[in-house]
Amino acid sequence: MTPAPVAVIGGGSWGTGLSVHLGRLGLTARLWARDAALVALMRSKRENPWYLPGIPLPAALSVTSDHGEALEGAGLVIVAVPSHVFDAVLEQAARRLARGTTILSATKGLEPERARRMSEIASARCPGSPIAALSGPTFAREVALGRPTAAVVASTDPDVAKALQRLLSSPEFRLYTNRDLLGVEIGGALKNVMAIATGISDGLGLGENARAALITRGLAEITRLGGALGASPATFAGLAGIGDLVLTCTGSLSRNHALGLALARGQSLEQARGETRMVAEGARTSLSATALARRVGVALPICQEVAAVLFEGKTPKEALASLLQREYRAEEEPLPATSAPGGRRNS
């Protein structure tokens, strides 16, 4: 992989944090942001005051709201936009990309309408391009500050993953490769739902035992769905699985955990969204994941209850009661999406 310019699509906290990291590596980078007002602020202040305030942008980083300017001559395109706009943004970008340009998804979520993974969307929009995904326990601010971080870059083509590993790694940003692209993306998407659940639990004052139980059973749900889709169980014991899950469920910078806290305080999803520019991916993913689970015949009880709180008017306490009233099972017993006695579903 040549040191051609790197285009970062997405002017949020993660896209900005990655751009700062690229500058630290000495790479030429161009950051595309949709909002022209934000671009103007970033150019004048040389920081991202909306999403990553107080962290200087690299001198060599250019910021633009023009796709053509951002993508011209790019050898690598990193896409770091919310999952619900990923397809639309990539559709526009694909018109300006040279065939064969590597696409690296830094988005952790599932497409709301069809529950597609981001790599599936990228493959459809950019046929012939190498596709990879970046995931793992990575808060944008800490990456931008150069604090020690380990992450995973996944591709079904090991040569693509290794090339990205060589290009993007540094002593403080250690990348591991993984061939299990599907598993890495499923882990990165569903951990956000579990973080909302743990935020609700913490907001209700249920204690650390409850938080640990939710994280552990959440990992079981992620592994169950991933396995049904063909992912390797080992992936969920790694950085894109338990690593990202623990960080997002417990970290002070987790926007999904913060959403769960807001829900526990009695706020609606709309009210919580109105307090921040940040997107909590787990909200939409709760719906996508449960739809995907029904499609492959597995149960995701935590995801289902989070979706019920977010979109069906169920209160956090009612969702908790539903989880606590579930039938007793062996821990290792498979959990299919079947109906329980009395009409209550085991999902």
Q: Which residues are catalytic?
A: 191
d(CA 99, CA 298): 38
d(CA 93, CA 60): 22
Please answer whether residues 255 and 273 qualify as being in contact, where contact means their C-beta atoms are separated by less than 8 angstroms: no
Strands annotated E in the chain: 6-9, 29-32, 62-64, 76-79, 102-105, 131-135, 149-154, 173-178
Q: Give one DSSP letter per residue of 294-341, joined into a string.
A: HHHTB--HHHHHHHHHHHS---HHHHHHHHHTSPP--TTS--BS-BPG
Tell me how far CA of residue 345 lies from CA of 115, 218, 277, in angstroms: 22, 18, 36
Hey, which residues does 151 pair with through a beta bridge? 175
Tell me how far CA of residue 4 lies from CA of 25, 26, 66, in angstroms: 13, 12, 19
Query: Nearest CA to 285 among 119, 113, 153?
Result: 113
